[in-house]
Structure 1
Amino acid sequence: MDSEDAITRRRLLRAVPVAGSVAVAGCSDQTSEETDNGAATDGNETESENGTADETEAIPDPPNIESQIIQRDKAAITNVRHVVDGTMTWPSVQWVDTVDPTLLGVWEATNEQLYFSSNRKFVINSGENQYNGGYATRNGTLYLEYESGTSQEIQYQTTSGRSPPILELYQNGERTAAYEQSETEADQRGPVEVADSLIAVTEQNPTTKREDVQSGAVGSGFIVSPDGTVVTNAHVVGAHQNSEETAYERFAVKQSNAIRQELASDGTLTDEQLEASGRRLYEEIMSYYEEYGTLKDVSESVSVLNGKATTDDDLEVESWSAEVETTGTVYKEASGEPSMGRDIAVLDIDEENLPTVTLGSANGLSTGEKLYVIGYPDIGISELFDDTNTTLEPTMTTGIVSARRELNTGINSIQTDAAINGGNSGGPMYNSDGEVVGVATFSPNDAQIQDIQFGLPIEIAAGFLTELGIENTTGEMQAAYEAGLEAYWRGDCETATAKMETVLDLYPDHPQAQSYITNCENGDAPGQDS
């Protein structure tokens, strides 16, 4: 048998039933005995009526290591979610165009000429002097910003009911100058220039606007003690973020999306125009919210999701509230630049008799050895599937240890070509003995780099567990489940059923135990006739 398909010796011995070995049909009670004709049998043969020996029923081979890991530990691999809630309030807003089309063109008076363009540039020719700069208008006020750095505010009024139109300038209610329009200019702005000219201002009679905001992160984790200790990444539970900043950033994303949808509904903008216009309007509206908005009632929570069996053999999502017991540092400075830290978090959920994984060691893990990564990648395909069947269906990716690298922070890492996508963070990395040797953690910042992902050695997580006085243990329920699974793989449905019934007595919500009992009852277990 290939060593990768073999059951870990430690786990196999732990799973062997105490009350004797499994009876195999046709076996005698003795290892060797004489038959009537004096021939010896070794216990693997039995005498038939015609005096010939029949071979015993073959014990099925166990599944490959990938299937063993999934069947044994699937219930102990969790989905972890960090949620930040808040409420944003602000006075109602309106968009104002800072370009007044009636002002565009050339205006002349004795010894002075004014020019205003649609790209918000102005030129003043006064005698032998020329002044240049940018301008904006709002509510009858002309704001001038000279190239020299000085600025000026002037009240103005254009009279278009006569020919030629007149531009009148005022200071403190007194008219200081009047100009006749000698040349007109059409508004030549495209959609990007128009967006660049818009500003967000409070409405004249504002109302208070309110919007609930929810932001979150999704990752993976694994249960290491039957009383509810879960290991994941610190960044999954937001250890590197301020909750108010997180909620505000989510609000900003919603506003950005709303602006882009509104612009796209016009149907006339190119992708480049849509991107540039959307970016400019987003920057302006967020400046308004920063100045006038208030983020209130901010709270955060962490939950651990797992599967729960139902009476109709379906799978429901069970959510447990979790407390963050401790976290490492997500980012750590090295040579003046941010780098990865001990990105581990330990959570606690108030449950008992939970399924658990077995922790191994990454110390002897070397380049070329196989790795198996399990988690819940957020890969944007959930809308294609029935949530009741796939919400908590973990994904396994396989690869090898590509390298063992020390980060510039002095922290050791495991480099692998096994895929680690968003949502996989915090999930377990297994060796070929079915033991957790690492925690899937991060990818390179360079998106062009392919097939290079990183995990942290399980020793880092174990260090946090030791500090908290927590041991990686196998509880009574998990021990019964593993013993039942071993019996099921070798075709011993009697033992498998008894063990799985013990599992359900201790943990009625176990998502898989009943399925093995059902398979045995239906003749679908290994070694049974199909």
Structure 2
Amino acid sequence: MLPQTNKLQVLLLSSALLTTLVPITPANSQVPRVQQLQINSTQSQKMSAGNLLAENTKSSVVRVVIGCKAKVYLPKNGKIYDLDKMLGHGSGFFVNSNGYIVTNAHVTNITTEQCKQYLATELGVKLEGDGEDLDAVEQQLKWIEAKPTYLVNLPNGESLPFQILKSGATFDEGKDVSIIKVNVRNAPVLKLADSSKVQLLDKVTAVGYPGLVETSTAFDEKSLLEATFTSGEVSAIKTLKDNVPVIQITAPAAPGNSGGPVLNEQGEVIGIVTFGFSNNHVFLFTSNTVQEFLTSLGITNEEGLIDQKYREGLQLYNQGKYTQALRVFQLVKRLFPYHSEVDKFIQQSEQVIAANYR
């Protein structure tokens, strides 16, 4: 979610309801067919630096979904009404391989009373079906249970519940950062940059899940889990009234992008999308502010074995060394079965290898 500054009361609902070297072969020796293929196919398969950055990033960026559920009892007719509604989503990314995720506080913060308000329409429809009017029976209603629901959608389609470990406040009231956790291991991690070193006109890339895809019927369900990458530059470095630094960028972002990472040219996170005056005037809470939250929880921002191996696999694949790349990708798959991109590279590597053993 990317709130407009004049719509703070609907921050949540503003959403559309993240080298191995081989020996040099002497010229007069016989080159095995597979190895020869690897050399000849390098040019056609080669990915650019931007492609590699995207492939290294995609599996780390997640969709953070907030909803509400409740049971409401109406003594007048003796019925219990089950309510369940998805309210909106933001973006986030793995900051530690043990399932720790960074997003915005305004993405995750919701109270029980807010849940009741958001569920009122659904309740009204159900009551009307029983011949009752919500306004007429409102005082009689017994809310047996009303609570937020929290889910993280991984890019491979898996949905996992999360818990909030530490959350700040909306940007006009505090530090708009939230640290949440899902139960996984070996998750692919994005490294935090030192945001104090960010300079004007640095090239940046924003990654996240803009809600406009959800509101259109033109896209299939898989597209909801495809992160969007937009590019731009650092246009300003400013400070909020409470002396909290923010970074302004020109990379477009939309409702649903909130909490998503913004990367420098090295693929490190300089900040998270938080608010904006328009989709093209976007402000970030800095990576150093995020680091404050992590430090207070004793969470380290370190890459794991899967990050090293996946990067190694991409390098081998990009060099046309498909047999070696396949072994590395298979290891990545074993380490983190939820990885959204590795199956693609396993399949493509196997196809190239098989085609040259016929």
Q: Same fold (TM over 0.5)?
A: yes
Give the counterpart of 1:77 among 31, 37, 61: 61
1:233 to 104, 107, 117: 104
Summarize deviations over 1:406-449 as a string: whole Å, max 9, x none: 112211111122222121111111111111111111123xxxx5
The amino acid of 2:161's aligned partner reads: S
SS of alignment partner, residue 377 of structure 1: coil
Q: Over residues 133-164 of structure 1, what are the superposed CA-to-partner deviations in whole Å (9 max), with x where a residue is unaligned?
A: xxxxxxxxxxxxxxxxxxxxxxxxxxxxxxxx
**Counterpart of 2:107 in 1: which secondary structure?**
helix
Q: Distance in 2 between matches of 1:475 and 1:425?
A: 26
Number of residues of Structure 1 aligned to a counterpart in Structure 2: 321
Q: Is the 2:253–2:280 contact (alpha carbons within 8 Å) kept by the matching residues of 1? A: no
Q: Is the 8 A contact 2:61 2:155 kept in 1?
A: no
Alignment partner for residue 194 of structure 2, among 338, 348, 361? Answer: 361
The 1:455/1:257 distance shift into structure 2, 3 A limit, reads farther
1:463 maps to which residue? 292
**Structure 2 equivalent of residue 217 of structure 1:** 88
Matches within 5 A, 1:156-167: none
Match of 2:22 in 1: 22
Specify whether residues 491 and 297 from structure 1 end up closer, same or farther in structure 2 by C-alpha distance, changes over 3 A only: same
Question: Which amino acid counterpart does residue 477 of structure 1 have in structure 2?
Answer: I
Partners of 2:46 and 2:96 in 1: CA distance? 26
Per-residue deviation, residues 461-507 of structure 1 (Å, max 9, x unmatched): 11111111111112122211111011112222132112112112222
Q: Which amino acid aligns with 1:228?
A: G
- Distance in 1, matches of 2:287 and 2:60, equals 16
Aligned partner of 1:138 in structure 2 is none
Closer/same/farther in 2, CA of residues 431 and 84 from structure 1, 3 Å limit: same
Note if contact 2:261-2:272 (Cα within 8 Å) is conserved in structure 1. Answer: yes
Match of 1:386 among 205, 212, 220: 220
- Corresponding residue SS for 2:54: helix
C-alpha separation in 2, matches of 1:302 and 1:450? 26
- Structure with a larger share of its residues in strand: 1
- The structure with more radius of gyration: 1
- Amino acid aligned to 1:355: P
Q: What secondary structure, in the 3-state scheme, does the structure 2 residue paired with 1:443 have?
A: strand
Paired residue secondary structure (2:196): coil
What is the letter of the counterpart of residue 118 of structure 2?
A: R
Q: SS of the counterpart of 2:311?
A: helix
Mapping 1:114-513, distance limit 5 Å:
207-208=77-78, 210-215=80-85, 216-238=87-109, 241-243=110-112, 245-254=113-122, 288=136, 290-308=138-156, 317-331=157-171, 339-379=172-212, 380-381=214-215, 383-387=217-221, 389-444=222-277, 449=278, 451-513=280-342
1: CA distance between counterparts of 2:126 and 2:138?
18
Amino acid of the structure 2 residue aligned with 1:229: Y
Question: SS of the counterpart of 1:462?
Answer: helix
> TM-score under structure 1 normalisation?
0.55
Kindly indicate whether the alpha-carbon contact (under 8 Å) linking 2:326 and 2:350 is maintained by their aligned counterparts in 1: no
The answer as to whether partners of 1:230 and 1:348 remain within 8 angstroms in 2 is yes
Q: How far apart, CA to CA, are the structure 2 residues paired with 1:340 and 1:451?
A: 23
Secondary structure of 2:118's aligned partner: helix
Higher relative contact order (CA 8 A, sep 6+): 2
CA gap 1:513/1:251 in 2 versus in 1, 3 angstroms = closer
How many angstroms does 1:392 deviate by?
A: 1.2
How big is each residue's C-alpha offset from its partner over 1:299-321, in whole Å with a ceiling of 9 and x where there is no partner? 2332211144xxxxxxxx21122
How many Å separate the matches in 2 of 1:450 and 1:343?
Answer: 18
TM-score by length of 2: 0.80
Aligned mates of 1:521, 1:301 — CA distance in 2: 41
Shift of 1:47: 6.9
- CA separation in 2, counterparts of 1:64 and 1:482? 14
1 or 2, which has the higher helix percentage?
2
Distance 1:351 1:304 in 2: 12
1:86 counterpart residue number:
70
C-alpha distance in 1, partners of 2:340/2:279?
35
Secondary structure of the 1:383 match is coil
Match of 1:64 in 2: 48
Residue 23 of structure 1 aligns with an amino acid whose one-letter code is: P
CA contact (8 A) 1:213 1:250 kept: no
Q: Distance in 2 between matches of 1:326 and 1:450?
A: 28
**Of 292-301 and 393-402, the range deviating more from structure 2:** 292-301
Q: Percent identity?
A: 26
Quick one: distance in 1 between partners of 2:70 and 2:310? Answer: 42
Cα gap change, 1:22 to 1:341, in 2 (>3 Å): farther
1: distance between equivalents of 2:184 and 2:241? 39
Distance 1:409 1:209 in 2: 50
Q: Structure 2: which amino acid aligns with 1:81?
A: V
Is contact 1:62-1:490 (8 Å) kept?
yes
Q: Distance in 1 between matches of 2:227 and 2:77?
A: 47
Change (3 A) 1:427 1:257: farther
